[in-house]
Amino acid sequence: MSLEDIKREQEAFADATIRAKKAGFDAVEICGNAGYLTDQFCSPKTNKRTDKYGGDLENRLRFPIETIELMRSKVDDIPLGYRISGDDFVPGSNTYKEKVVIAEELGKYLDYFNVTGGWHETKTPQLTMDVPEGCYTYLAENIHKRVSIPIFSSNRINNPELAEQVLMAGKADAICIGRGLIADPYLPMKAQKGELRDIMNCIGCNQGCFDQVFRMMPVTCLRNARAGNEARTELKPLKEKKKVMIIGAGAGGLEAARIAAIRGHDVHIFEKDDKIGGLLNIIWIPPGRNEFKRMIDNYNYWIQKYGINVHFQQNVTIDIVKEFNPDVAFVATGSNPIKPPIPGIDRANVYWANDALSGDAPVGKNNVIIGGGATGIELAIYIAKYGTLSREAFDFLTFYKALEPQIALDMMHKGRNKVTVLEMLPKLGSALGRTTKWVLLDKCDALGVKFLTSVKVTEIGENYVNYSDSSGKENAISDIDYIYYATGVEPNDALYKEIKQLGTIKVEKIGDARKPETVMEAVARGYKMGNSI
**Rounded-to-integer distance, Cα 477 and Cα 27, Å:** 62
Closest to 42 (Cα-Cα) out of 91, 2, 101: 101
CATH superfamily of 240-336+490-530: NAD(P)-binding Rossmann-like Domain (3.40.50.720)
**Rounded-to-integer distance, Cα 310 and Cα 270, Å:** 6
**Residue ranges in 264-404 assigned as alpha helix (H):** 280-283, 292-305, 318-324, 353-358, 374-385, 391-399
Q: Which residues have a Cβ under 8 Å from the Cβ of 177 and sit 6 or more positions away?
A: 157, 158, 163, 187
89: left (phi over 0), alpha (psi -120 to 50) or beta: left
**Rounded-to-integer distance, Cα 398 and Cα 89, Å:** 26
Q: Work out the number of other CB atoms within 10 angstroms of the CB of residue 36.
A: 15
* Tens digit of each residue's pLDDT (9 = 90 or more) over 252-293: 999 999 999 999 999 999 999 999 999 999 999 998 899 999
pLDDT at 464: 97
**Rounded-to-integer distance, Cα 346 and Cα 336, Å:** 16
CA angle 185, 188, 189 (to 5 degrees): 90
**Rounded-to-integer distance, Cα 316 and Cα 482, Å:** 33
Strands 328-331 and 506-509: parallel
* Tens digit of each residue's pLDDT (9 = 90 or more) over 467-492: 999 999 999 999 999 999 999 999 99
% the chain with pLDDT above 70: 100
* Tens digit of each residue's pLDDT (9 = 90 or more) over 84-139: 999 999 999 999 999 999 999 999 999 999 999 999 999 999 999 999 999 999 99
Domain span(s) for CATH 3.50.50.60 in the chain:
339-487
pLDDT at 59: 98
What b/e readout covers 354-380, taking b as 16+ CB neighbours within 10 angstroms?
bebbeeebebbeebbbbbbbbbbbbbb
Q: Work out the number of other CB atoms within 10 angstroms of the CB of residue 317.
A: 11
Domain span(s) for CATH 3.40.50.720 in the chain:
240-336+490-530
| Level-2 CATH architecture, domain 3-177 | Alpha-Beta Barrel (3.20)
Backbone φ, ψ for residue 467 (5° rounding):
-150, 155
Residue 431 has pLDDT above 90, yes or no: no
Tell me which amino acid residue 262 is.
Answer: I
Closest to 446 (Cα-Cα) out of 423, 473, 478, 419: 419
Q: Give the residue-averaged pLDDT of 408-422.
A: 95
> Count of alpha carbons within 13 Å of 146, Cβ hemisphere only?
19
**Rounded-to-integer distance, Cα 56 and Cα 456, Å:** 57
Domain span(s) for CATH 3.20.20.70 in the chain:
3-177
Residue 278, Cα to own-chain centre: how many angstroms?
Answer: 19
With cut-offs at 50, 70 and 90, classify the pLDDT of residue 70: very high
What b/e readout covers 119-128, taking b as 16+ CB neighbours within 10 angstroms?
beebeebbbb
% the chain with pLDDT above 90: 98
**Rounded-to-integer distance, Cα 365 and Cα 369, Å:** 13
Strands 309-311 and 174-175: unpaired
Say which CATH class 339-487 falls into: alpha beta
**Rounded-to-integer distance, Cα 124 and Cα 200, Å:** 27
Residue 430 has pLDDT above 90, yes or no: no
CA angle 505, 278, 383 (to 5 degrees): 155
Residue 393 has pLDDT above 90, yes or no: yes
Give this prediction's pTM.
Answer: 0.93
SS3 223: coil
